[in-house]
Structure 1
Amino acid sequence: MSKKNKSKADTFFSCIEKNFDKATRFIPPIEKGLLEQIKSCNAVYRMHFPVKIGKKIKVIEAYRVQHSHHKLPCKGGIRYSLKVNQDEVMTLAALMTYKCAIVDVPFGGAKGGIKIDPQTISVENIEKITRRYTSELIKKNFIGPGIDVPAPDYGSGEREMSWIFDTFLSLIPGEVDALACVTGKPLSQGGVRGRKEATGLGVFYGIRELCRIKEDMLSLGLDVGLDGKKVIIQGLGNVGYHAATFFHEAGAIIVALAEREGAIYNKKGLNVSNVILHLKNTGSILNFPGSKNIENTEKALELECDILIPSALENVIHKNNANRIKAKIIGEAANGPVTPDADEILGKMGVIVVPDIYLNAGGVTVSYFEWLKNLSHVRYGRMEKRFSENVNSELLQVIETICRKKILTEEKKMILRGPREIDLVRSGLEDTMISGFHKIRDIKKSSGIENMRTAAFVLAIKKIIDSYEKLGIFP
C-alpha cells in the first residue's frame, strides 16, 4: 500500500484513538463533545525555516504539537529524526497527555520534532537548527515555563536542551523562571540528578511492582519477585540500557539483548556492562563472547523468556508475530511497540502487557521534578539534608547510650547520611510508579476490564475530565 493511499486505520495516531474509544465504554455517560475535545490535538504547529549549511541554504521541516491544554504548561520531548512526521508527533503528544494524567504530573501533553539526521550533520549545524527552531517556537508562543516545556527525546539530549535554554534567555531577557522553559538540561544549567536513567528506572519500578503481586504471578505460573526471571530487552538506547542494568542488579537474568544489527542470546545470562563495553569497542553487540548471534533482530522477540521489554520502536509486535511471542509479561518501554491487533491476540494468550502510557512515564515524572526545582530556585536536599543528618546523629547517640554499645563506623555513616538530590528524585519516582500501577490495577479489577492498557486509558480520561470540570469549562 502506498503512503498516499494509506488509510487512517493504519496510522500511529489512529491506534491511540482506538484505545481511547475502547476505554470510553467504561466511563460513566458524559457529553460526547468533551470526549472529542480530550481526544483531539489542540494545536499543531508545522514549520519550515531556512538554515545555512556550509555554502547552501537548507529548508528544515519541524513540528510542535500541543495535544491538550487541560493543564498548563504542556510538556513533551523534541525528536531529531528523518522519520519525523505530523502523525507521529501528534501521537506522541497524545501519549504524553495520558501519561501525565496517570502519574499525577500537572502538564498537558506536547511533542516536538525536527526532520534531520543528527548523525550526518555537524555539531555546529545541529546547534544552528536547534536555536532557529527555538526562535520559531518563541515567535508563536509555543515555549515558556508556563506555556510549553520541551525535553530531550530520540536524537536529542542535554546539549540540545542547553542551546534551547540559552536561546530562550537571550530572546526573552529578564525572565526570572527561564531555567524552567526546558528540562533535561545539564546539571550546571539547572538539570536534576537522575534524569538520564529516569525512564529506564521507571520501567524497572513498574515491572517490579507487577512481579510483587502474588495473584498476578500465580495466573502466569511464575514466582513472586524478579529474582531469576528471564528478561529480553530490545533496544540498548538510553531507556533500554538503564532498564537492563536495573533488572540485572535486581537478580533477573538478561538472556537476550537486541539492536538494529541483530541480537545476542545466552540462556545463562548476559552481563549488561560487558555488552556495552563490547559495543563501544566494536560498534556492535554481535559476536559478544559466550553469546549466540541472531541475525534477524525481530526473532529475538520470539525467544523463551518471562519478561519482554521492547524499548526501541513502535509496532514491533503486530498481528503477524504476536502469536509467536513466548513472554508472559511485556513491558512497553517504547512508545506504541504493540499494535491494537497484537494486543487482542496477546490478551487471549494470557500475556500481561504493561502499557506505555504508564510504564515509560518515568522520564516526564523526573522532568516535572526538574521543572519544580527550576521554579523554586532551590536544589533538592539543600534545606533538609543537614537537618536530617543532625537529627539522625542525636538519635544514634541516644541508642548508643541506651544499648551501651558503639555502632560500627561504616554503619554509622550510612545512618547519618541525609538525603541527596538523587535519593529524593528516585524516591519520588518510585512512589509515583508504584502508586500509578495500583490505581490502574484497581480500576481493572473493579470495572472488569480485560487488560491494563484499557484500564490505564480509563484512569487518564477520568482525571482529565475531572480537570475540565474543576475549570468550570464543562459544567
Structure 2
Amino acid sequence: MSKKNQSKAEAYSFFSCIEKNFDKAARYIPIKKGLLEQIKACNAVYRIHFPVKIGKEIQVIEAYRVQHSHHKLPCKGGIRYSIKVNQDEVMTLAALMTYKCAIVDVPFGGAKGGIKIDPQIISVENIEKITRRYTSELIKKNFIGPGIDVPAPDYGTGEREMSWIFDTFLSLSHGEVDALACVTGKPVSQGGVRGRKEATGLGVFYGIRELCQMKEEMLSVGLDVGLHGKKVIIQGLGNVGYHAAKFFHEAGAIIVALAEMEGAIYNKKGLNVSNVILHLKNTGSILNFPESKNIEDTEKALELECDILIPAALENVIHKYNANRIKAKIIGEAANGPVTPEADDILGKNGVIIVPDIYLNAGGVTVSYFEWLKNLSHVRYGRMEKRFSENMNTELLQVIENSCRKKIPIEEKKMILRGPREIDLVRSGLEDTMINGFHKIRDLKKSLKIENLRTAAFVLAINKIIDSYEKLGIFP
C-alpha cells in the first residue's frame, strides 16, 4: 500500500467503525431511535492529567477511564499503556467491551482505560509510580471497585501492574472484604485464576473451530469440515496471537505464515510455533527462521494464500485498499477492529466469512469474569468438588472392574480418576461460552436473514442490552 493510502487507513476513526457497525444492526431492531442512541453513547469519560516525579523532573501524565454502559454493574475492561492512547481509542474499546460481555452472557457493562506512556522506555520503578497514582485517581472519582468498575490487563500491561492496582486499592479501601475483586488478571498467588493468560487466544481457537464444524458454512467457502490440515496465517505474536497459533498447531492446522512488525516468515509446509518463539527469544526477531522465507512488508503476509487469516495485532489492517487482495476464506478477528467497514463490504461480496471481534476475542473477559467470581466467593475453583469427583470415579471404576473381571491399566485409571482442577473448569467454562455464543449469533443470522456474522453479533448484543434496560425499568 502506498504511503498516501496507508495514512488514510491509519486516520480512520476507530470509534466511527463501531458506530457504522452498530447502525447496520439497528435496522433489524424495532425500537425507538433515541433509545438506540443511549445504548451507543459512552456514559462516562474520565480524562486525567496527574504529575509524577520521574528522575529529577516532574512529568504530567495523560490517562483515561471510560465507562461505556451502566446497564449492568460493575463495568469491566482492560488498561493499556501506549504512547498512542487517545480518547477515541479508549471510547471505542469500552464500547466493544459492552457488546462482547452481552454476547457471551457476562454480566458487566463495558469499560476501558489507558495511560499515554511508552512502557518500553520507562523504568519499572516509574511504571509502578504511574500505575499507583492512576489507581488513586480512579478511587477518588469512584471509577474502580468490585461492584463499580473492574480493570484488567491490556496492551502494555500484565499481572505486575494488576498487582500494583490491587495493592493500592486495598491500602486506600480499609475493610473492603472483596478487595481482591477490584481488578482481574492478577497472579494466581494474589487471587488470579489459572488459564487467564491464554484465555483470549484459546477463545479465538474455540470460535474458529466451531465455525469449521459447520458443514453449510464450509461448503459456502469450498472447505472441508474440521480444522485439521487447514492453512492458517497469524498476524501478531503477542499473548493472543501466540496462544491462538499454539492451539491451532496442536489441533493439526498448518501455520504457513507468522507476521510481526519487522516482517513475516512463510513456509507452505508449515511452521513450528514453539520453535519460532525460541528463535524470536534468541535473536529478537522472527525473521531468518530456518527453512522459511522472509517477507519484508508484514502487510503482504495478509495477502498470501491460506484458508484462515487471524489478525491478532492492530486495528484497521484490512481496509478498502487491500481487501480485494485477501485470499483467505475465513478471517478471525483476534484483534480489536482489524477490518474496516469498507473492507467488510468488499470481503462479504467476495464470499469471505468474517468471525467478528466482539465475539471472537471475548475469551479474555469471560475468564476475567471467572476470576471475579472466584474473588467474591473466596474459594478457588475445584476445591469443593475435586476430591468428591475422584472418590466417586474410584467407586465407579471398582464396579466396572468387578463386573468385567478385568483390571484397567494404571495410566488409564489415573486419567479417569483425576478430579477437575481449576484450569480444567476454567477452560471448560470458556469452551462452553464460546460454543454457545457462536450458535446464538449463527441462529440469529439465519432467522433474521442478516448479511453477515458481525451484524448478527451486534443485533444479539443490542437486544441483550435492551432487555437489561427494560428489566431496570429505564426504557418505557
Shared fold by TM > 0.5? yes
For 1:209 and 1:374, how far apart are their aligned partners in 2?
31
8 Å CA contact 2:50–2:60 kept in 1: the answer is yes
The alpha carbon displacement at 1:33 in A equals: 1.8
Runs of 4+ in 1 over 6 A off after TM superposition: 1-10
The alpha carbon displacement at 1:473 in A equals: 1.1
The alpha carbon displacement at 1:3 in A equals: 16
The alpha carbon displacement at 1:418 in A equals: 0.2
Q: Any idea what the Cα deviations from partners look like across 1:405-426, whole Å, max 9, x if unmatched? A: 0000000000000000000000
The alpha carbon displacement at 1:463 in A equals: 0.2
8 Å CA contact 2:209–2:227 kept in 1: the answer is yes
Q: Which residue of 2 aligns with 1:451?
A: 452
SS in structure 1 opposite 2:276?
helix
SS in structure 2 opposite 1:174?
coil
For 1:221 and 1:8, how far apart are their aligned partners in 2?
34
8 Å CA contact 2:9–2:319 kept in 1: the answer is no
Q: Any idea what the Cα deviations from partners look like across 1:355-400, whole Å, max 9, x if unmatched? A: 0000000000000000000000000000000000000000000000
Normalised by the length of structure 2, the TM-score is 0.98
8 Å CA contact 1:78–1:111 kept in 2: the answer is yes
Q: Any idea what the Cα deviations from partners look like across 1:225-263, whole Å, max 9, x if unmatched? A: 000000000000000000000000000000000000000
- What percent identity do the matched residue pairs reach? 91
8 Å CA contact 2:203–2:431 kept in 1: the answer is yes
Task: Work out whether 1:134 is the aligned partner of 2:166.
Answer: no
Q: Any idea what the Cα deviations from partners look like across 1:67-94, whole Å, max 9, x if unmatched? A: 0000000000000000000000000000
SS in structure 2 opposite 1:76?
strand
SS in structure 2 opposite 1:6?
helix
For 1:458 and 1:220, how far apart are their aligned partners in 2?
24
Aligned residues: 474
The alpha carbon displacement at 1:7 in A equals: 14
Q: Any idea what the Cα deviations from partners look like across 1:412-465, whole Å, max 9, x if unmatched? A: 000000000000000000000000000000011111111100000000000000
Q: 1:65 to 1:176 in 2, by over 3 A?
A: same
For 1:215 and 1:200, how far apart are their aligned partners in 2?
25
SS in structure 2 opposite 1:308?
strand
SS in structure 2 opposite 1:231?
strand
Q: Which residue of 2 aligns with 1:4?
A: 4
For 2:362 and 2:441, how far apart are their aligned partners in 1?
14
For 1:118 and 1:106, how far apart are their aligned partners in 2?
32
The alpha carbon displacement at 1:212 in A equals: 0.3
8 Å CA contact 2:5–2:321 kept in 1: the answer is no
For 1:294 and 1:4, how far apart are their aligned partners in 2?
22
Q: 1:8 to 1:288 in 2, by over 3 A?
A: closer
Unaligned runs of 5+ in 2: none
Task: Work out whether 1:462 is the aligned partner of 2:455.
Answer: no
For 1:111 and 1:374, how far apart are their aligned partners in 2?
21
8 Å CA contact 2:68–2:95 kept in 1: the answer is yes
Normalised by the length of structure 1, the TM-score is 0.98
The alpha carbon displacement at 1:32 in A equals: 1.9
Q: 1:312 to 1:5 in 2, by over 3 A?
A: closer
SS in structure 1 opposite 2:328?
coil
For 2:7 and 2:100, how far apart are their aligned partners in 1?
27
8 Å CA contact 2:9–2:316 kept in 1: the answer is no
The alpha carbon displacement at 1:202 in A equals: 0.1
Unaligned runs of 5+ in 1: none
Q: 1:124 to 1:7 in 2, by over 3 A?
A: closer
Q: 1:404 to 1:171 in 2, by over 3 A?
A: same
8 Å CA contact 1:79–1:112 kept in 2: the answer is yes
The alpha carbon displacement at 1:31 in A equals: 2.2
8 Å CA contact 1:200–1:242 kept in 2: the answer is yes
8 Å CA contact 1:9–1:15 kept in 2: the answer is no
Q: 1:7 to 1:289 in 2, by over 3 A?
A: closer
Q: Any idea what the Cα deviations from partners look like across 1:132-164, whole Å, max 9, x if unmatched? A: 000000000000000000000000000000000
Q: Any idea what the Cα deviations from partners look like across 1:99-141, whole Å, max 9, x if unmatched? A: 0000000000000000000000000000000000000000000
For 1:226 and 1:473, how far apart are their aligned partners in 2?
45
For 1:114 and 1:289, how far apart are their aligned partners in 2?
39
Q: Any idea what the Cα deviations from partners look like across 1:340-361, whole Å, max 9, x if unmatched? A: 0000000000000000000000
8 Å CA contact 1:233–1:240 kept in 2: the answer is yes
SS in structure 2 opposite 1:61?
strand
Q: 1:436 to 1:422 in 2, by over 3 A?
A: same
Q: 1:448 to 1:300 in 2, by over 3 A?
A: same
Q: Which residue of 1 aligns with 2:113?
A: 112
Q: Any idea what the Cα deviations from partners look like across 1:287-316, whole Å, max 9, x if unmatched? A: 000000000000000000000000000000
For 1:321 and 1:455, how far apart are their aligned partners in 2?
25
The alpha carbon displacement at 1:5 in A equals: 17
Q: Which residue of 2 aligns with 1:154?
A: 155
The alpha carbon displacement at 1:30 in A equals: 1.3
SS in structure 1 opposite 2:97?
helix
For 2:213 and 2:2, how far apart are their aligned partners in 1?
46
SS in structure 2 opposite 1:5?
helix
The alpha carbon displacement at 1:174 in A equals: 1.0
8 Å CA contact 2:170–2:179 kept in 1: the answer is yes
8 Å CA contact 1:310–1:332 kept in 2: the answer is yes
SS in structure 1 opposite 2:6?
coil
8 Å CA contact 1:8–1:14 kept in 2: the answer is no
The alpha carbon displacement at 1:34 in A equals: 1.3
SS in structure 2 opposite 1:45?
strand
Name whichever of 346-355 and 9-18 sits farther off. 9-18
Q: Which residue of 2 aligns with 1:282?
A: 283
- What RMSD in Å do the two structures reach over aligned CA positions? 2.1
For 1:47 and 1:255, how far apart are their aligned partners in 2?
44
Q: 1:323 to 1:105 in 2, by over 3 A?
A: same
For 1:155 and 1:195, how far apart are their aligned partners in 2?
16
